[in-house]
Structure 1
C-alpha cells in the first residue's frame, strides 16, 4: 500500500515504536479528585504537545499524542460518582476501615482505576477487595485471597 494512504496517527506511533494505551473495559467511575486529576493530565499534555510541536520533536509528539488520546478518552467517558455522606453500606468513593483476624486495621478509599494508588491508601473499584466490599455494612466480613476482613468503619 502506498504511504499516501496511511494515517498520520499510525506514522506517529511508528516513529516512537509505541502502541496505544489500552483503555479499560470497565465503567470509568471517578471521584471529584479523580475528575480533577484527569483534567490536569489533559491540560498538562496539551502544553507538552505544543512544546514538542514547537521543537519539531517527532518522537515526543508521538508519545504525548498517544497519552493525550488516552486521557481524552478517559475524560469523555468519566462518570462522576459521589457517595451519600451518611451511607451505611460500602459504595464507590467511600473510605472503608477493615480489621483482620489478628486485629490489624487498614483503611482503603475506593476510587476510579486511574486514581487508585494502594501505597497511598486507595484501591480501584474493580479490584478484588473493592468488589468484595460493595454493599457490606459495619460488622460484616469479606474474604479476599484467603484472608478474612471485618468492616470496622465507613466514611
Structure 2
C-alpha cells in the first residue's frame, strides 16, 4: 500500500526546522539540565524555584523536540526551482498580484510550517494559495478572506 506524500516544505524551511531542533538539543536542553542538576543539589526541591522552573522548561523543550522530530519526518522537501511548468502558480512560486485598485502585493507559496504573512509567505493550505494554484499570468482569481471577497489578477510568476 502506497503512503500519501507528506505536506510540502521548501529546502530553506526544512533547514530552519533542523536548525531549531539542533539549537534546542545542543544548547538549550544541556543548559537547563545543568541548572536542574545544580538546583537539585541545593536541598528542598519543593520550594526551589530554579529546580521547579528548570523541570518545567525541560518538559517544554522535550515536547518541542518530539514535535519537530515527528514533523521533519512527515514533511516532503520540494525545491521550487525544479518546477517543470514555471508559467503557472504551484508550490514555491513568487507571485505578484494586483487588485481592482491596481495595488500590488507579492506573495510566496510555502509550506504551512514556514508561513509568515508579514513577509508575504503564505501557507500552501491557505485560502489565497488555494485560489492561486494553477493560475497563469493574466488570470483573475477570487479569494474569500475574513474581510470579504477580493479579486486579484496574477501579474508575474517567478520561481527564483
Is the CA contact (8 Å cut-off) linking 1:28 and 1:78 kept in structure 2?
yes
Task: Give the equivalent residue in structure 1 for 2:152.
Answer: 149
1:97-112 matches, cutoff 5 A: 97-112=96-111
Task: Give the equivalent residue in structure 1 for 2:66.
Answer: 69
Shift of residue 85, structure 1, vs aligned partner:
6.9
Q: Cα RMSD between the aligned structures?
A: 1.5
| Aligned-partner Cα distance in 2 for 1:141–1:50 | 53
Shift of residue 28, structure 1, vs aligned partner:
2.6
1:31-70 matches, cutoff 5 A: 31-46=10-25, 47-56=27-36, 57-70=54-67
Moved more, 34-43 or 84-93: 84-93
| Aligned-partner Cα distance in 2 for 1:142–1:136 | 8
Q: Structure 1: which 5+ runs fail to align?
A: 1-25
Based on CA coordinates, which of the two structures has the bigger radius of gyration? 2
| Aligned-partner Cα distance in 2 for 1:78–1:93 | 15
- Answering whether residue 116 of structure 2 is matched by residue 113 of structure 1, we say no
| Aligned-partner Cα distance in 2 for 1:110–1:97 | 11
| Aligned-partner Cα distance in 1 for 2:137–2:22 | 40
Shift of residue 27, structure 1, vs aligned partner:
3.9
- Answering whether residue 92 of structure 2 is matched by residue 93 of structure 1, we say yes
Is the CA contact (8 Å cut-off) linking 1:29 and 1:78 kept in structure 2?
yes
TM-score scaled by structure 2? Answer: 0.77
Is the CA contact (8 Å cut-off) linking 1:31 and 1:112 kept in structure 2?
yes
TM-score scaled by structure 1? Answer: 0.79
